[in-house]
Structures are given as structure tokens and as C-alpha cells.
């Protein structure tokens, strides 16, 4: 997949570009359905399937007074997933105050048509772009004939069992924060994943408990709700089973929030290394054990369960 991160360096338009636009946080099943329709239309007209996204997230520019919105997928992961979805190209536009003020007509003519070469656009029913969200579906249809492009409006993919609610980044964010990683995986089409660098811990995992842990440093990435999870861990080209604890280690009463992962059947030092953790199932609440021996028994039970339910 070709990735264009500076629109000014796009020297010529794509051939018969079929475009879809969005933040694509999570690259969930709803996004995947849009990509599939884009690819289908591109094949029909001998064109190029193009996803257009933005960095940073528009909310951080439009509402700088709010805390940064934790990402379901950081930018690098989003690029990987869009590539895996079979798109020919990704155009990432720098979302600046200037772009936020750009009216829909100028965005359509100067960026989508002139720069990217759009011949068709695939959107959901309530999609809108441009200043004050002027560029809705009706706007696109009014300009399609004269500008020479086609508008394809797709139905939203609904949440199973909730026919009045579509799959969205908002719904997935809610599920992850609740710890309902199984539903999140169903909506994403894959397990929810966090990634980060392994940082020094408090030296208790191996020495005191007999279960060495990798302590992860997450950067602006959505963290699942407090609890204990069965996970799989990707390190380099290898995948391992594991157990993750998210929370404050109440047995030790030090009130320090951590994301700790015990990787099964792994030996070695991961300090400073980059790992990915896929959340398979929430096993239990984080709890305070009366003794270290009870905590060790609890972890051993978590490990035994994870061995049975994590498939790699």
C-alpha cells in the first residue's frame, strides 16, 4: 500500500481514485465494509482504492481544552490494518486549524478531485466533512454530476443484537473501558490490542511471586478496564500465551497504576523492547489477597485458565 503523508508531495492524482474518508480509529468492521466497497468499485472502473484519514485526531485540534482522546489504534497500527484490508493507498492529511476552517467545496475541489483524482466516493449515511460539517451526502450528490464523480452511500454495519446502533469507535471504546474485550473483538474483527515498550517494574514479579512480568508503557492508547485478562503477546515474530493485570496491585497497597503482563513459557529480558498484547478474555476483577501465598495461588489459577482459552 502506498502511504502519502504530505499531500503537497503527491505529484499526480491517482488513477480513477475511489475514496473513503474518516478517522478510522480501530479500523473496525464498519470501516472494513467501507474499504471492501471501495475496492469493489475500484475494480469496476480500473481505478485505485484510496483511504483518506487525518493526524492528529481532529478532536485534539477542535477541542484543545479536552484531554487527549485515547486511541483504539495508534497511527502506525492504523496504517498496518488499512494495508491489511487491501487498500491501494492511504492519504494522511495533517489536521490543522487551517484545514478545520476549510469549507467543504474547497476541500472537495482542491484536495479530493484535483490532488487525489477522485472519481467515486464511498461514505456512510451521516458522514460529513469540511467546515461546520457542510460536506454531507446531499452536498456530495449536488456536486457529483458537474464535478464528474459518483457517490456511493453505504448502510452502516450494526452492533449484533442492537439493530438501532451501528458499529463505531465510540461503542468499541465503551466496551474496552468496561473490560468487555470479547464484544470489542467481535466488533473489531480481531482481538483488541495495545502495544508499547517494556519499562522497569517494581521487582516483585519474579523475585516475590515467581511470575516475572513485563511492565508496559502505553502512550495515548486506550487501556482496558481494571482487571485480569487472558492475552496473547507478540514479540518479534513469536506469539506467546499470557496473563495481563491492569490496575493498582491492591495486595501490595502501593496505589500505583500499572499494565503488567506475565508471558507464559518465555525466558529472557524484554527491558526496552516493543511488544503487542492482544486481549482475549477478562478473567476476573483485580482483588486484594490476604497473603502473598494466596496471591501466588490466584495467579497460578489465572495462568491455568489462560493456557486453555488462548489459542496461538
Parallel, antiparallel or unpaired: strands 89-94 and 2-4: parallel
Q: What is the DSSP letter of 277?
A: E
Element (H, E) at 215: strand 214-217
Q: Report the SS3 class of residue 124.
A: strand
- Who's near 261: CB < 8 A, 6+ residues apart? 213, 214, 215, 216, 231, 233, 242, 243, 244, 245, 275, 277
Which has the closest alpha carbon to 107: 132, 135, 138? 135
CA separation for the pair 50, 139 (Å, rounded): 21
List, by residue number, the catalytic residues. Answer: 260
Do 72 and 170 touch, CB atoms closer than 8 A? no
Residue that has been written with the C-alpha cell 452536498 in this structure? 139
Do 88 and 192 touch, CB atoms closer than 8 A? no
Amino acid at each position: 500500500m502506498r502511504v502519502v503523508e504530505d499531500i503537497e508531495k503527491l505529484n499526480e492524482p491517482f488513477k480513477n481514485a475511489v475514496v473513503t474518508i474518516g478517522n478510522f480509529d480501530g479500523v473496525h468492521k464498519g470501516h472494513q465494509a467501507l474499504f471492501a466497497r471501495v475496492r469493489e468499485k475500484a475494480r469496476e472502473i480500473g481505478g485505485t482504492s484510496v483511504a483518506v484519514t487525518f493526524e492528529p485526531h481532529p478532536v485534539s485540534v477542535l477541542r484543545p481544552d479536552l484531554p487527549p482522546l485515547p486511541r483504539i489504534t495508534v497511527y502506525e497500527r492504523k496504517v498496518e490494518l488499512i494495508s491489511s484490508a487491501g487498500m491501494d493507498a492511504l492519504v494522511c492529511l495533517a489536521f490543522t486549524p487551517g484545514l478545520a476552517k476549510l469549507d467543504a467545496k474547497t476541500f472537495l475541489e482542491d484536495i479530493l478531485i484535483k490532488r487525489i483524482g477522485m472519481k467515486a466516493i464511498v461514505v456512510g449515511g451521516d458522514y460529513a466533512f469540511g467546515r461546520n460539517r457542510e460536506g454531507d451526502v446531499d452536498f456530495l450528490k449536488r456536486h457529483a454530476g458537474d464535478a464528474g464523480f459518483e457517490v456511493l452511500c453505504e448502510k452502516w454495519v450494526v452492533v449484533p443484537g442492537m439493530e438501532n446502533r451501528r458499529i463505531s469507535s465510540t461503542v468499541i471504546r465503551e466496551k474496552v473501558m468496561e473490560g468487555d474485550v470479547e464484544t470489542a473483538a467481535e466488533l473489531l474483527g480481531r482481538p483488541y490490542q495495545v502495544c508499547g515498550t517494556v519499562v522497569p517494574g517494581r521487582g516483585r514479579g519474579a523475585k516475590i511471586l515467581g511470575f516475572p512480568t513485563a511492565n508496559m508503557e502505553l502512550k495515548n492508547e486506550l487501556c482496558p478496564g481494571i482487571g485480569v485478562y487472558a492475552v496473547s503477546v507478540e514479540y518479534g515474530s513469536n506469539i506467546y500465551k499470557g496473563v495481563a493485570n491492569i490496575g493498582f496491585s491492591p495486595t501490595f497497597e502501593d496505589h500505583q497504576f500499572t499494565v503488567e503482563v506475565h508471558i507464559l513459557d518465555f525466558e529472557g529480558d524484554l527491558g526496552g523492547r516493543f511488544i503487542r498484547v492482544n486481549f482475549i478474555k477478562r478473567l476476573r476483577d483485580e482483588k486484594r489477597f490476604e497473603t502473598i501465598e494466596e496471591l501466588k495461588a490466584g495467579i497460578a489459577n489465572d495462568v491455568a485458565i489462560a493456557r486453555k482459552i488462548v489459542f496461538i
